[in-house]
Amino acid sequence: MTPEEALRIYWGFSSFRPLQREIVESVLCGRDTLALLPTGGGKSLCYQVPAVCSEGVTLVISPLIALMNDQVAALQKKGIRAAAITSQLSKREWLSVLDNWRESDVKLLYLSPEKLQNSLLQEKLGQLKISFIAVDEAHCISQWGHDFRPAYRQIDNLREVLPPDTAVLALTATATPEVIDDIATSLRFRPGHQVFKKSFHRPNLSYNIRIVENKIDRLIQALRAVPGSAIVFMRHRLKTAQVAQFLRAHGIMADYYHAGLTAEERMEKQNDWMQGKTRVIAATNAFGMGIDKPEVRLVVHLDPVPSLEEYFQEAGRAGRDEKLAYAVSFISPADIARLTDPSNNPFPSPDEIAEVYQKLFEFLRIPLGQGEWEKFPFSIQKFAEYTKLPKLKCYEILRWLERDGHISFDDQCLRHSRLHFYFDFYDLSARHSPESAVVQVVQNVLRMYEGVRYTLVEIDEARIAKMAEVDEPQVKKILYHLSRTGDADYYPKNTEGFLTLLKPRLDRKIFKIDPEEYSFRKARHQARLESVKKFYQSTNQCRVIQLLHYLGEKKTEPCGLCDFCRDQRRMQKNPSPHSLQLRKASEKEIITRQADGQILFKKT
Ligand code: ADP
Ligand code: MG
Is residue 421 a contact partner of residue 218, using CB atoms and an 8 Å limit? no
119 CA to centre of ligand 2 in angstroms: 28
- Residue 601 is predicted with a pLDDT of 42
Pocket test residue of 8, 9, 13, 24 for ligand 1, highest count of atoms within 8 A of CB: 13
Buried b (16+ CB within 10 A) or exposed e, 109-118: bbbbbbbbbb
Stretch 130-147: mean pLDDT, rounded?
A: 88
Residue 422 has pLDDT above 50, yes or no: yes
- pLDDT over threshold 60, residue 106: yes
d(CA 108, CA 61): 10
User: What whole-number distance in Å separates Cα of residue 259 and Cα of residue 286?
Assistant: 6
Q: List, as one string, the DSSP characters of 38-72.
A: -TTS-HHHHHHHHHHHSSSEEEEE-S-HHHHHHHH
Q: What angle do CA 488, 492, 496 make, to 5 degrees?
A: 165
pLDDT at 580 over 70: no
Q: For 158-183, write each residue's pLDDT tens digit.
A: 999 999 999 999 999 877 888 889 99
- For domain 205-340+522-603, give its CATH number from 3.30.950.10, 3.40.190.10, 3.40.50.300, 3.30.420.140: 3.40.50.300
Q: Whose CA is nearest to atom 19 of ligand 1?
A: 42
- Report the alpha-carbon distance of residue 349 to residue 513 in Å, rounded: 10
What is the distance in A from the centroid of ligand 1 to the CA of 43? 7
Q: What is the mean pLDDT of residues 304-315?
A: 91
Distance of alpha carbon 173 from alpha carbon 37, whole angstroms: 5
For the beta sheet containing 254-257, the strands, ordered from the edge strand earlier in sequence to the opposite edge, are 205-211, 325-331, 296-301, 229-233, 280-283, 254-257
Using a 6 Å cutoff on CB, does residue 17 contact ligand 1? yes
Cα atoms in the 13 Å half-sphere on the side-chain side of 78: 21
Asked if pLDDT for residue 598 goes beyond 70, the answer is: no
- DSSP secondary-structure letter at 16? P
User: Which residue minimizes the CA distance to atom 15 of ligand 1?
Assistant: 42
**577 pLDDT tier (thresholds 50, 70, 90):** low
Continuous H helices in 493-575: 515-537, 543-550, 563-573
Q: Ligand 1 atom 5: the closest Cα is on which residue?
A: 42
Q: For residue 514, is pLDDT > 70?
A: yes
Contact between 29 and 166 under an 8 Å Cβ cutoff? The reply is no
Q: Are 3-197 and 205-340+522-603 equal in CATH topology?
A: yes
Tell how far the Cα of 7 is from the centroid of ligand 1, in angstroms: 11
Q: What is the pLDDT of residues 471-492, one digit of tens each?
A: 999 999 899 788 766 678 777 7
Q: Which ligand is nearest to the CA of 37?
A: 1
| Topology of the domain covering 3-197 | Rossmann fold (3.40.50)
**One CATH from 1.10.1060.10, 3.30.470.20, 3.20.20.120, 1.10.10.10 for 350-413+498-521:** 1.10.10.10
* Range among 36-40, 410-414, 592-596 with highest mean pLDDT value: 36-40
CA distance 328 to 302: 9
DSSP 3-state assignment of 429?
Answer: helix
pLDDT of 29 reads 96
C-alpha distances out from residue 137 to 69, 231, 300, 528, Å: 16, 22, 24, 19
Ligand nearest to C-alpha 137 = 2
pLDDT at 592 over 50: no
Question: CA-CA distances (angstroms) from residue 213 to 302, 328, 600?
Answer: 11, 15, 12
Distance 38 CA to ligand 2 centre (A): 9
462: enclosing H helix or E strand: helix 461-468
Chain centroid to Cα 28, Å, comes to: 32
Q: Which residues, 6 or more positions from 431, have their beta carbon under 8 angstroms from its beta carbon?
A: none
Q: What letter would DSSP give residue 300?
A: E
How far apart are the C-alpha atoms of 223 and 75, rounded to whole Å? Answer: 35
**Would you kindly state where each structural domain of the chain is located, as residue ranges?**
3-197, 205-340+522-603, 350-413+498-521, 417-491
Question: CA-based Rg of the chain, rounded to a whole angstrom?
Answer: 26
Question: Which class for 313: exposed (0-12), middle (13-18), buried (19 or more C-beta within 10 A)?
Answer: buried
Phi-psi region of 201 (alpha: psi -120 to 50; beta: other; left: phi over 0): beta
Alpha carbon of 137 to ligand 2 centroid (Å)? 7
